[in-house]
């Protein structure tokens, strides 16, 4: 049975009526209910506090008083609309107190307070140190203005505005990379139950995405090969040509990953972009390059001389491009990987074997087929890379560049 309030405690709660309300003599507290919306009221206290409240009917959730907020901060119209929602939720079995606590808990979760937990999760997932460092930099530097904000209050509009600022200050590509990483962070937050939607989704990019399709010609391959010096960068470039592996995988190669007896390079899961351990058979030219690479005492990395793997690509590549001259138009190191897989197909190597060499998941091993097709194609991969190395040597022998061979400065 519904509880009845005295007539003097039931009025139409509006701005004027609320302003005239007060306690009766001897009262420490008084609740006045709205005449139009049952269960919606205002609580007055001797301390001077005045709060909007609701009380769901018995049988509809927790029927005690639940505070919406202060009269000084919330106007009557907003309080009434909030009360309608809360009372409807209670009628469906919800608990306004629990909802209020959950809202406060979510408000306490800020983006900045969550970053270390997110980075730790990615480290546990086996992401490469370079990936972790790049991710941390973007989140903590480019999105620093969002760190103090409750996670659920961050809007797409302010992300888009900040994205423009980052593009102007750091460049368009950096801004788009920062946006992509932020979107991944929010996606993880959703899966953790901390967010209902991704506010970084559908924000306009600063750059126009272009699909790279650059495949080097044989003349360009030869010019680059001959422009390589007998140094770390030169060896890296030639190994990229011969193996078709990624730049980061070759540059961070470890002596402990190499087996010179079996001519095999074993790349562990933690260093592979697709999170799959990968065996790379090494051709004779690749083995010769590694045999001539100097081992540095106390250092497992094959290339570089700092604390980590080889670095300084920009300066080294600019120097190589200068030596190669006009024989090679604008190109990137990753083009060597595309050139390798395209070239292997052109010399008759089957596509799924070329995919296996590059550790791509081809249609032969995708989906359900991949569950049953566990073949590593070890022998076929070795034959493919030997044939590709022979092709590369043939190309470089037919097209020599004496100028780059004698230049040592």
pLDDT(221) > 80: yes
The DSSP output letter for 198 is -
Q: Helix or strand or coil: residue 280?
A: strand
Nearest partner of 143 among 98, 114, 111, judged by Cα: 111
Classify the C-alpha dihedral 19-81-31-9 as positive or negative: positive
CATH of domain 218-406: 1.10.443.10
Q: What is the pLDDT of residue 73?
A: 82
Q: What percent of the chain has pLDDT over 70?
A: 85
Q: What is the pLDDT of residue 404?
A: 41
Average pLDDT over residues 336-341: 94
Give burial (CB, 10 Å; 0-12/13-18/19+) of 33: buried
pLDDT digits (tens, 9 = 90+) for 81-110: 989 988 888 777 666 555 555 555 454 578
- Domain locations in the chain? 7-106, 111-191, 218-406
Structure-token pair, residue 237: 């470039």
Beta carbons within 8 Å of 42's beta carbon, 6+ residues apart: 13, 18, 21, 31, 32, 50, 51, 52, 53, 71
pLDDT(2) > 70: no
Alpha helices in 92-245 (DSSP H): 96-108, 111-124, 129-137, 156-170, 172-191, 218-227, 232-243
* Rounded distance between C-alpha atoms, residue 276 and residue 245, angstroms: 13
Q: Say if CB 27 and CB 3 are below 8 A apart.
A: no
The DSSP output letter for 261 is T
Is the whole model's pTM more than 0.75, yes or no? no
Q: Say if CB 60 and CB 91 are below 8 A apart.
A: yes
Q: CA 292, 298, 301 angle in degrees (round to 5)?
A: 55
pLDDT digits (tens, 9 = 90+) for 58-85: 654 556 788 888 888 888 888 899 899 8
Nearest partner of 38 among 97, 99, 83, 93, judged by Cα: 83
Average pLDDT over residues 28-52: 92
Q: How many CA atoms lie within 13 A of 348 on its CB side?
A: 4
Nearest partner of 228 among 240, 216, 218, 217, judged by Cα: 240
Which residues in 189-205 are b (16+ Cβ under 10 Å) and which e?
Answer: beeeebbeebbbeebee
Whether 7-106 and 218-406 share one fold: the answer is no
The DSSP output letter for 23 is P
The residues with which 265 forms a beta bridge, in sequence order, are: 258, 280
Q: Say if CB 382 and CB 390 are below 8 A apart.
A: no
Beta carbons within 8 Å of 361's beta carbon, 6+ residues apart: 274, 355, 370
The CATH class for the domain spanning 7-106 reads alpha beta
Q: What is the pLDDT of residue 400?
A: 61
Q: Say if CB 120 and CB 158 are below 8 A apart.
A: no
Structure-token pair, residue 278: 């990968």
Nearest partner of 234 among 256, 212, 251, judged by Cα: 251
Q: What is the pLDDT of residue 85?
A: 86
For the chain, how many helices (H) and strands (E)?
A: 17, 8
Phi and psi of 390, rounded to 5°? -60, -40
* Rounded distance between C-alpha atoms, residue 113 and residue 105, angstroms: 13
* Rounded distance between C-alpha atoms, residue 298 and residue 255, angstroms: 11
pLDDT digits (tens, 9 = 90+) for 256-300: 999 999 999 999 988 888 778 999 999 999 999 999 999 988 899
36 or 4: which carries more pLDDT confidence?
36
Q: Say if CB 304 and CB 311 are below 8 A apart.
A: yes
């Amino acid at each position: 049975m519904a509880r009845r309030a005295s007539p003097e405690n039931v009025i139409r709660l509006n701005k004027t009526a609320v302003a005239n309300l007060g306690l009766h003599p001897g009262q420490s507290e008084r609740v006045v209910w709205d005449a139009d919306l049952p269960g919606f009221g205002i609580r007055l206290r001797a301390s001077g506090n005045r709060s909007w409240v609701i009380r769901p009917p018995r049988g509809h959730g927790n029927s005690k008083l639940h505070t919406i907020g202060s009269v000084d901060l919330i106007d009557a119209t907003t309080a009434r609309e909030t009360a309608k929602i809360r009372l409807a939720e209670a009628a469906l079995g919800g608990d306004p107190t629990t909802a209020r606590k959950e809202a406060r808990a979510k408000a306490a979760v800020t983006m900045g307070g969550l970053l270390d937990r997110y980075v730790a999760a990615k480290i546990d997932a086996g992401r490469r140190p370079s990936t972790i460092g790049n991710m941390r930099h973007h989140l903590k530097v480019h999105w620093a203005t969002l760190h103090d904000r409750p996670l659920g209050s961050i809007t797409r509009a302010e992300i888009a505005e900040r994205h423009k600022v980052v593009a102007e200050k750091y460049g368009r590509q950096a801004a788009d990379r920062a946006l992509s990483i932020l979107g991944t962070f929010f996606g993880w937050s959703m899966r953790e139950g901390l967010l209902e939607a991704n506010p970084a989704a559908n924000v306009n990019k600063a750059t126009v995405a272009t699909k790279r399709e650059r495949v080097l010609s044989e003349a360009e391959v030869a010019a680059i090969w001959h422009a390589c010096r007998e140094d770390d960068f030169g060896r890296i470039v030639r190994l990229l040509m011969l193996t078709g592996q990624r730049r980061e995988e070759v540059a961070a190669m470890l002596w402990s990953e190499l087996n010179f007896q079996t001519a095999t390079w074993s790349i562990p899961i933690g260093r592979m972009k697709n999170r799959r351990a990968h065996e790379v058979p090494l051709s004779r030219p690749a083995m010769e390059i590694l045999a001539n690479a100097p081992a540095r005492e106390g250092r497992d990395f094959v290339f570089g001389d700092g604390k980590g793997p080889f670095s300084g690509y920009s300066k080294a590549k600019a120097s190589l491009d200068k030596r190669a001259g006009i024989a090679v138009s604008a190109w990137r190191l990753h083009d060597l990987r595309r050139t390798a897989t395209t070239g292997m197909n052109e010399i008759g190597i089957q596509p799924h074997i070329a995919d296996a060499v590059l550790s791509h998941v081809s249609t032969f091993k995708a989906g359900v087929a991949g569950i049953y097709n566990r073949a590593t194609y070890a022998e076929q991969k070795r034959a493919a890379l030997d044939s590709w190395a022979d092709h590369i040597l043939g190309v470089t022998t037919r097209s020599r560049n004496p100028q780059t061979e004698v230049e040592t400065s």
